[in-house]
Structure 1
Amino acid sequence: MAAATMRKKAEELVEKAMKGNDGSHDASHVWRVRDLAISLAREEGLSSNSDSMEIVELAALLHDIGDYKYIRDPSEAKLVENFLDEEGVEETKKVKILNIINGMGFKDELSGQTLCESLPEFGVVQDADRLDAIGAIGIARCFTFGGSRNRVLHDPEIKPRTELTKEQYMKKEEQTTINHFHEKLLKLKKLMKTEAGKRRAEKRHEFMEEFLKEFYVEWDGRA
């Protein structure tokens, strides 16, 4: 895993860069993703390679810095690259870390981009991030984000969008929080890259399905 000094500096950068974000994309989210990624990496047999574990941990720690949903200044897009340069991370590791971060988003999968076959660390970090987007934590994060953007909770007249493109997904058009489950969250189980991620996704996915069933029952006044 990442050396203690670099890990501490990366954690400090996370806390500074993500300060002021709503609770769906704050430092706590990053700590959970880092811990999940390390756990998945061990299950996937990457722990025998110290370089792989360092790449996994740093990519997980830095993955949401410069997120397009929260970026306040164009210079923030270079924060991660500048950090890796300042810390003297060797070029091959730096390129892998940046490739993982730049390609792991759902919007990138919609556009057909994938790095999983060439980078085993990619699947581990992406799965960890997606596991934190589903299940009980995922539900809490979804409603936290929706509330921060003043989204409508649910409107039966607004149907979930199907066959989304990257551009449609990123477009800030009126949508509901509940529709986000159908447009993204319920799809993540099938998009897991690692066997360890697939196993963990099962329970979290089922929990979301049960939640939505109860939500619709209560919304319609049937319970």
Structure 2
Amino acid sequence: MYPTDHEQAVIAAAEKIMVETMARYDPSHDAYHVQRVRKTALQIAQNVPHKPDMLVVELAALLHDVLDKKYVSAEEAADPYKFFLPFFESMASLHGIDLVQDGRGRLVTQVIDNVSWSTEKKLKEKGLWTTWHDECVELHCVQDADRLDAIGAFGIMRCAAYTTVTNSPLYAPIGDPKQPVSAIQHFHDKLIHIRDRLKTEHGKRLGAKRHQVVSRLSNTTFMMYVLSDAVLC
């Protein structure tokens, strides 16, 4: 039965790294976001036809934003396996699970390195999307969970939070230099497309209701009405 005592010890160690790291990031990418992704990824993993390695799913979910390129340098993010290798090696001596020898450490970091929306977009544009990307269930569980947290009520609040941190406009008219980086444009560029690009059937079911909220708010007029109403309140 998952997790065993040894697996739970490894999970706790990974969670400690995550909490310490995410404390430095803004509310759009904090420990609470990661915990939601973890919970959803495990839920999805329990509902896919071919059960994945649950430890890989949970570790990848917990660590997926530690090296987020929005918060660390390109050099730091370039080799997740090298970055996490000391952690993987210590788990063998401390808790008896050798993530290096059994290959799961490599898979965890491969998932981390490929989970983001922008990475998938770039790989497909360059023709570098592979069969592994299409078939790795562990990747799909974490990808869907992360993307589900970008839509619905939490997704809207996260978008607003990141917009504030980056000092980007909530709305800018077409033709304005800041329009491409506005919150409204982010809805059109990414958020309204997430539902149709979820990988798992369970993820798609979870995404259906959340998409309705995002779809309504992607309408500029409705968004501005909501924002104005919030200010008046």
- TM-score strictly above 0.5: yes
- Residue identity over aligned pairs, in percent, reads 34
Task: Return the TM-score normalized by structure 2.
Answer: 0.79
Question: Normalising by the residue count of structure 1, what TM-score does the alignment of the two structures yield?
Answer: 0.83
Is contact 1:46-1:53 (8 Å) kept?
no
Asked whether the equivalents of residues 188 and 218 of structure 2 are also in contact (C-alpha less than 8 Å), the reply is no
Mean alpha-carbon deviation: is it higher for 151-160 or for 182-191? Answer: 151-160
Structure showing greater radius of gyration is 2
Shift of 1:131: 0.3
Unaligned 5+ segments in structure 2 are 92-97
Partner SS state of residue 103, structure 2: helix
Task: Report the equivalent of 1:69.
Answer: 70
Tell me the residue number matched to 1:97.
108
Q: Is the 8 A contact 1:151 1:174 kept in 2?
A: no
**1:117 Cα offset (Å):** 2.8
Of 8, 14, 38, the match for 1:4 = 8
- Name segments (4+ residues, structure 1) moved above 6 Å: none
Residue aligned with 2:46, SS: helix
Q: Is 2:56 aligned against 1:43?
A: no
Query: Are 1:146 and 2:177 matched, yes or no?
Result: no
Supply the distance in 1 between the matched residues of 2:228 and 2:16 (Cα, whole angstroms): 46
Moved more, 179-188 or 116-125: 116-125
Deviation digits for residues 116-160 of structure 1, max 9, x if unmatched? 433111111100000001110000000000100000110122489
Q: Write the distance in 1 (CA, Å) between the matches of 2:137 and 2:167.
A: 38
Say if 1:200 and 1:158 are closer, same or farther in 2 by CA, change over 3 A. farther
RMSD (Å), alpha carbons: 2.7
Aligned to 1:215: 223
Contact 1:158–1:176 at 8 Å: present in 2 too? no
Unmatched 5+ stretches in structure 1: 161-171
Aligned to 1:84: 88
2: CA distance between counterparts of 1:131 and 1:40?
A: 11
